[in-house]
Amino acid sequence: MPYARLNDKMSVAPQITPEDLPDLVAKGFKAVVCNRPDNEVPPELSSQALEAACEGAGIAFYNNPLAPGGLTPEAVAGQAQVITATDGAILAYCASGTRSAILWAFATAAQGDENAENIVNALDNAGYSLPGIAPQLEQFAAQSR
């Protein structure tokens, strides 16, 4: 299954399935974050179905859905909380990985772990080119402190 690594702790991917979990566990992922609302997926890919599959595979599951265009401070805080609470690699998924990458970018900026330039470079290197995001990250980081 394809995924893009943002840093040592966080990777993002398009929609995953329960069948992907053995591979994720084998690759050392400790947690999965669902950033996709259930109304976008069939029942077999709902957050409840993936949570049950993760539980069976021995991997932590977090549900932090983000509707397209619905970035909120609460969603960013939820993503930051997962990053802080998880000891090990995390895979966040949505439809294409973009919403998950954006949530990581804002959570990382808010935590002060990286500056906006480094975050944008990590996004670019992972295949998520968001050229206008740096000023927004800087503003969000300033408001978060």
Lowest mean pLDDT of 78-82, 86-90, 125-129, 131-135, name the range.
Answer: 131-135
pTM score of the predicted model: 0.95
- CATH code of the domain containing 81: 3.90.190.10
How many other β-carbons are positioned within 10 Å of the β-carbon of residue 58? Answer: 9
Q: How far is CA 144 from CA 32, 47, 67, 107, 136, in A?
A: 25, 29, 22, 10, 12
State the DSSP string of 111-145. Answer: HTSS-HHHHHHHHHHTT---TT-HHHHHHHHHHH-
Number of structural domains (the chain) is: 1
Q: 120 lies in which domain range? A: 4-144
Q: What is the pLDDT of residues 71-114, one digit of tens each?
A: 999 999 999 999 999 999 999 999 999 999 999 999 999 998 79
